[in-house]
Chains A and B, each alone.
Chain A
Amino acid sequence: MIAEELSKTAAAEREAQAQFEHRINVCVAASCLSSNSDKIKSALETEVKKKGLEKSCQVRGVGCMRLCSRGPLVSTETQGEDETQPASVLYQNVTPEDAPALVESLKGEPVKALECPTDTPFFKSQVTIVLENSGKIDPERIEEYIAVEGYATLLKALTTMTPAEVIAEISRSGLRGRGGAGYSTGLKWTTVAKANGGSRKYVICNADEGDPGAFMDRSVLESDPHRILEGMALAAYAVGASHGYIYVRAEYPLAIKRLRAAIRQAERNGLLGTNISGTTFSFTVELRLGAGAFVCGEETALIASIEGKRGQPRPRPPYPAESGVWGCPTLINNVETFANIVPIIREGGDWFAGIGTAKSKGTKVFALTGQIHNTGLIEVPMGTPLREIVYEIGGGIPGGKAFKAVQTGGPSGGCIPAQHLDSPVDYESLIQLGSFMGSGGMIIMDETSCMVDVATYFMEFCMSESCGKCVPCRVGTAHMYDLLQKITRGEATMADLDLLLEVCDVVKNTSLCGLGMGAPQPIFSTLRYFRDEYLAHIEAKQCPAGVCKIHEGNEEVIA
């Protein structure tokens, strides 16, 4: 498909959409889908047919509308000059039985009982770049993506920019890897572009979102799969690769299904494959399924897994940029990083650099969960204070309970207590607080959570996910877990606490990969801010939050 054909397809799709006076959008991302949004969609379709409105009202599935705790979410849109009718209404907790009322409301007043206000901080404080199409387009139709200027950026770059110019734009934007560590994307691309690997180079999208409590990448893949493909194609053009892999968790069947469909559609339309848009650039993408190993999020382990082996990391250097899949130079970026590429090339690096803080540019998507009113997906500019996220966007803690901590960074991250709520969210600030940006899970805990128990939970995770290749991680995580269990059972002494810190230090400094290096982090951060809870378990043999079963003998707290 060349640029003219693309804009023709876009125009045709927009025109087809304009035919409909009303549109009913049903969220078909995983969270709403598991509360039966597919049944709501078919109930709406039946109702529209029954009323004979097929010509004027379109029912379609769209991606994640972000406020997952109020799902299933449905929105209605009305176009035209009729100003008495609000342009768009969002409905929450919809059931299939609500379909008649919703269809009826198109002609009159919105259904008040189901209405979900959208002028709240949850929606108004968000800035959507990564999620700009999420909840607005049907993820299963390439035409809808093309209608919102999809693939136009790729074709523009292929015909008017050199690979070096693409990289320069990314460097100028200041984009940093969204997988957690925050390595400069521009620098990574430059290294791969310069690598001399003969004829073959690879681009890999890391969609092995393993952090418990994180579902940002899943939502992006399910809501806007074409954007990832376009971002990968731009990356491939920039670094000189012609083949790509998306390594996605087998636990995400919906994301896999939509990615497969998206790849097929893009190939059929000549937007992936050989000689894209009549240029000399060719790029194909293949899916590889993970099989439930957290360590495969580490880049060298991921590469081993793509090669069909056990997912065990290897020492770096050589970095994948020099020697990756099959020993060829390989560019690995996370889903959210690729999702940022299209807007940067489209709007320019300087535009992106204007958002966020001095060192952390752009926005960050977080999966806000735990003891908080508004669970769901949020996208905020870097540097947004934690307090704003918890109390305004998140709507505070339910049940009148007191906030205790916010956990970021998954098993390699830490817990940030109330006194640091005014800190901005960016890579450096979080590290200073003893936590870590991570991929974007943000779990809110209230007074009912025991911090020693939380540390034990993460240690059990690291212990069972340790791949077993290096000794510090394999033995150390088990040792740390035993000591933590001793504390939660009320059997520990102060000497155990000292020993725990010593083991933490060894594991942190001598492990082979990020899994081991980060494993002691939850202990460090909870000890730093909640030392009194550890002491209560050790000295007073009490669990202040009442979570740990101290008097029940040797029963395990973690099942």
Chain B
Amino acid sequence: MWTTSVKVSPPSEDKRWKLVEATMRRLGHEPSALIETLHTTQESFGYLDDVSLRYVSAALRVPLSKVYGVATFYHFFNLKPQGNHNCVVCMGTACYIKGAANILGEIEKTYQVKAGGTTEDNELSVLTARCLGSCGLAPAAVIDGEVAGKLSPEQTVERLEKVIHP
């Protein structure tokens, strides 16, 4: 049985765990802090691995099955490490009717990677988004955190090339 007196220490000396601990402390180590804690963990480490899920489970006293359930239920959480660069193609309605599927198709063809995956050389992760809310710029994609709008399939690949092989 877990009791409140058990202090669970982070899995390593990594400074980034301090941020995760701070979030849990702010929310009183309540089980309800789970989603916020996973957000901080992913922000700090880029993705959620086994070690971090086990740690969060122990620290918040939430069964590991539930932690895993939450982490896989929400699309925002990644359980796999991401490539050096990432490209999120918006598949919202406005982007879709302006040809987002062609953009994604061109990327998948050029880099031999399916949406949700990472290239073999670990250079590029390709993701899709439900809607970026940048519909005025449709079709849009986010390349390494920067929104690019009014794209054509060729332009998108051109921009990706610039990022990957500067």
Contacts and interface: CB of A to CB of B under 8 A. Distances in A.
B130 A461 contact: yes
B59 interface: no
Given A209-B133, A457-B93, A559-B108, A307 B98 contact: no
Contact of B132 (A69, A251, A445): A251
Contacts of A69: 136
A357 B115 CA distance: 46
A214 B136 contact: no
Nearest to A457: B96
A281 interface: no
A31 interface: yes
B136 A71 contact: yes
A370 B93 CA distance: 8
B67 to A, nearest CB: 10
B162 interface: no
Given A449-B97, A559-B105, A308 B138 contact: no
A401 B146 CA distance: 32
B136 A291 contact: no
A371 B69 CA distance: 40
Interface string A366-380: 010111000110000
B44 interface: no
Interface string A201-219: 0000000011111110010
A292 B129 CA distance: 9
A366 to B, nearest CB: 11
B101 interface: yes
A31 B93 contact: no
B31 A308 contact: yes
B49 interface: no
Interface string B60-90: 0010001001100111110000000000000
Nearest to A443: B93
A361 B74 CA distance: 36
A311 B62 CA distance: 16
A35 B76 CA distance: 25
B22 interface: no
B101 A291 contact: no
B134 A307 contact: no
A338 interface: no
Contacts of A558: 101
Nearest to A71: B136
A367 B134 CA distance: 10
B42 to A, nearest CB: 9
Place the interface of chain B in its size category: 35 or more
A457 B96 CA distance: 8
Interface stretch (B4-12, B13-21, B33-41): B33-41
B149 interface: yes
The residue among B62, B97, B149 with the most chain A CB atoms within 10 A of its own CB is: B97
A310 interface: yes
B96 to A, nearest CB: 6
Nearest to A67: B136
A291 B74 CA distance: 5
B76 A250 contact: yes
Nearest to B130: A212
Given A212-B92, A310-B69, A559-B105, A367 B36 contact: no
Contact of A30 (B34, B39, B133): B133
B53 to A, nearest CB: 14
A251 B137 contact: no
Given A308-B70, A370-B94, A34 B130 contact: no
B113 interface: no
A199 to B, nearest CB: 19
A34 B146 contact: yes
A529 interface: no
Contacts of B138: 369-370, 375
Interface string A43-73: 0000000000000000000000000110100
B91 interface: yes
Contacts of A449: 97
Interface string A2-24: 00000000000000000000000
The residue among B34, B38, B76, B108 with the most chain A CB atoms within 10 A of its own CB is: B76
A443 to B, nearest CB: 5
A311 B74 contact: yes
Contact of B131 (A34, A210, A445): A210
A444 to B, nearest CB: 9
A308 B74 contact: no
A289 B94 contact: no
B160 interface: no
Contacts of A31: 134, 136-137, 149
A293 interface: yes
Contacts of B146: 34
B75 A308 contact: no
A252 interface: yes
Contacts of B163: none
B134 A30 contact: yes
The residue among B108, B133, B137 with the most chain A CB atoms within 10 A of its own CB is: B133
B104 interface: yes
B147 interface: yes
Contact of A68 (B32, B36, B104, B136): B136
A35 B39 contact: no
A309 interface: yes
A28 to B, nearest CB: 14
Nearest to A377: B136
B157 interface: no
B92 A213 contact: yes
Given A293-B74, A305-B35, A375-B138, A559 B101 contact: yes
B58 interface: no
Nearest to B71: A291
Interface in A304-325: 305-311
A294 B131 CA distance: 11
Nearest to A312: B73
B39 A291 contact: yes
Interface of B: 30-36, 38-39, 62, 66, 69-70, 73-77, 91-94, 96-98, 101, 104-105, 108, 115, 129-138, 140, 146-149
16 contacts: A68-B136, A212-B96, A215-B133, A250-B39, A288-B36, A291-B74, A291-B75, A291-B77, A292-B130, A293-B74, A294-B130, A369-B93, A375-B138, A454-B97, A458-B93, A465-B130
Given A210-B131, A308-B70, A443-B97, 18 more contacts: A30-B133, A30-B147, A31-B149, A35-B137, A71-B137, A209-B133, A215-B135, A250-B39, A288-B36, A291-B74, A291-B75, A293-B74, A309-B66, A311-B74, A370-B93, A370-B138, A371-B98, A441-B135
